[in-house]
Structures are given as C-alpha cells and as structure tokens.
Structure 1
Amino acid sequence: MTIGQELLQELTLEAEVTRRFLERVPFDRADYKPSEKSESLGRLAIHVAEIIAWWKECIINDKLDFIDFEPKHINTTQELLAYFDELLEEAKKSLVEAKNECFREDWSMTHGDDILFTLPKKQVARLFCMNHLVHHRAQLGVYLRLLDIAVPAVYGPSADDEDVILTRRFQENLDQA
C-alpha cells in the first residue's frame, strides 16, 4: 500500500464525519459569530470544505501561495456540500495517483515572497491538511452546539446521540423481558 493510499483511508473516514457537520450548517445564520474575534459560521463552514482542496495542492504542487486567495462565496448548504464533494473527489484522485517519492519532497505555504513554512509533503498532509481539518471541524461543532443544532458523532457518540442510545438500550431490554 502506498503512502497516498494510507492517507486516503484516513481522509475518507474524516470526510464522512466532516460532511455530516457541513450538512447541518444553517446558511440563514451564516453571519453568526460566538464572539467578535470569531470567524462567521458561513466563512468557517466554507473553510472546512475548502481545506479538502489542500490535499491535491500538496501532492501536485510544491507550494500554496495565499497572496491572491479569494474564498469561494457560497450561500446554501447544498452549494457547500457540492463544493466539498467536488474537492473531495479531486483529493482522492490525487492520493490514489501519488507516488511515495512525492511525500518526501518539500512543500511550502507562502504569502507572496514570504515563506510561512516548508515541510516534507508527508508532514504537510498530516499537520496542515488532516489536523487543520479536524481542528476547524471541531470549531464548527462548537458553533452548532451554541446554535442548538445537533452535533454529529465523531469518534464516539455525541451528547445529541444519547437519546438514541438510551432508546435503543430501552428497546433491547424490552425485547429481552
């Protein structure tokens, strides 16, 4: 199994969870911010989706320059999911086709002539692509919680799954009686 295929397995699992979070984003509340210092809900949700594009960027390029970056404008949950799904397919294709040697090459994040960091692509995939995704997805979960929107399970049940779990256990106890 190649490094790309190994990373693809992880990305696929994390993408399933991430999509469940994005499905719950209410764009009628896109301007919501839990504090003045926070990003808006809409911008955060779009950022979570666009992080998926970084996998392809990491694999096929030697840097990502943010000097002219313009975030995509999205107005509905359906647009957000379509954007995420499109980027995910590109990321998966890139990971399947990536050669192991690719992951030993250096990759840089830049802002024009300023180099923000340079790391081997394997570390970029882990730290910048995967960990960054999980970090911002967790932030999105906080926003959902504050808006009283059910937070999806991630690595185990969420508090919103508790009723489902209790109901299932109750039914199992009835069936055994």
Structure 2
Amino acid sequence: MHTSSIQQNILAELDHELAQTRKTLERVPFDQADYKPHPKSMSLWQLATHVVNLLAFNTLFVQLDSRDFLDPNAPKPGPTPTSHDELLARFDEYSATLRQALHGSDDEKLTHNFKLHRGEHTIMEMPKGAAVRIMGLNHSIHHRGQLTVYLRLLDIPVPGLYGPSADEK
C-alpha cells in the first residue's frame, strides 16, 4: 500500500493551485487597478496584490513557529506592485520561495504548531500543515475566486480553473 506524506500532498495541491492562480493574475488589467464592485470591496489591484502576498505569509507558516502582528520587525511583503509585470514577478518569486520552504520541511515539522497572534491575543494556533492548507491555500483560493468575479464584471474572459469556464466553451 502506497502512502503519501503531508508534505507531498501539500506540494501537489500547491502546484495545481499556483498554476491556476497565475492564469487568473495574468488576466488582471493594471489599467483598471482602482475598480471596485462595491464601496466595501478591495480594489482590483489591492485584491490581486493580496493574493500574491498571501504566498509570503504562507511561507511563514512553514519556516517559523509564530507571527505577531504587533512586532515591528516581523517580515512584511514589499510595497504594492506598480505594474502587471511586477505583480507576476512577485508571484513567481513568492511561489518559488514557498515551494523551497515546503521542500525543506517534512511531515514531522509540519505537525508542529504555528501561532498567529497580536500581542497576547491568539488569532490562530494549529499545526503548520493545517495552517498552510487553511490560512494559506484556502484563503488564497477564496480571494482568487473573488478576482474571477471582478474579471467577469469587467467583461474580461475568466480562465477555467477546474475545467473550462463559460468563456472557454
């Protein structure tokens, strides 16, 4: 009987989802960066940047044991990308860093807890592997889904992510 590891499962899922996310980001029009479908919504560019920056955050789950939002010295993503090329370059860089961190980890390390907190207030504490899946991948997929709605509302063809989209039939 063949069993696969937590690490192998996360890497397989990550590779699939990163390819789908890049396809989506490739269609985000920088010339409509300020577009918001609703006053409470993030702008198109804020949302696209957030999807990319979540990759760096996900890397923290693998490499560190905790992250305090009040720590002024804690790692933070770079400034907002100022072009479509810069957004995709950051996506590629953060994707490679996350893959490298996961390849450098193992099942045993991924069972260690990660704590996300703001000072004494714990926001989340769970095994690193679960944090990568829930707060990393699932969170990113959620926001990618929002991006596809923005694309639809802007009449930009939506890529097929789990099969053909209405635009690809």
* Aligned equivalent of 1:151, options 129, 135, 158: 158
Q: Offset of 1:45 from its aligned partner?
A: 0.1
User: Of 106, 129, 145, which residue of structure 2 is paired with 1:99?
Assistant: 106
Corresponding residue of 2:51: 48
1:140 is aligned to 2:147: yes
State the TM-score, normalizing by the size of structure 1.
0.86
What's the CA shift for 1:2? Answer: 3.6
Q: How many residues align?
A: 162
Structure possessing the higher radius of gyration over alpha carbons: 1
Runs of at least 5 residues in structure 1 that lack an aligned partner in the other structure = 163-177
CA distance in 1, matches of 2:64, 2:45: 28
TM, length-normalised to structure 2: 0.90
CA offset digits 1:47-87 (Å, max 9, x no partner): 11111113321111012233355663112111000000000
Matched residues in 1 for 2:27 and 2:168: separation? 15
Measure the CA separation in 2 of the matches of 1:70 and 1:115.
22
Question: What's the counterpart of residue 36 of structure 2?
Answer: 33
Structure 2 CA distance for aligned equivalents of residues 41 and 63 of structure 1: 30
**Identity over the aligned pairs, expressed in percent?**
42
Residue 124 of structure 2 is aligned to residue 117 of structure 1: yes
Write the letter of the residue equivalent to 1:24: R
Higher RCO, 1 vs 2 (CA within 8 Å, ≥6 residues apart): 2
CA distance, structure 2, for counterparts of residue 18 and residue 70 of structure 1: 18
In 2: Cα distance, 1:51 partner to 1:114 partner: 21
Q: Which amino acid aligns with 2:107?
A: N
Partner in structure 1 of residue 135 of structure 2: 128
Output aligned runs, 1:59-70, within 5 Å.
Answer: 59-67=62-70, 68=72
Give the structure 2 partner of residue 165 of structure 1. Answer: none
Q: 1:107 Cα deviation (Å)?
A: 0.7
What runs of 5+ residues in structure 2 fail to find an aligned partner?
none
Give 1:156 shift. Answer: 1.0
Structure 1 window deviating more from structure 2 (84-93 vs 104-113): it is 104-113
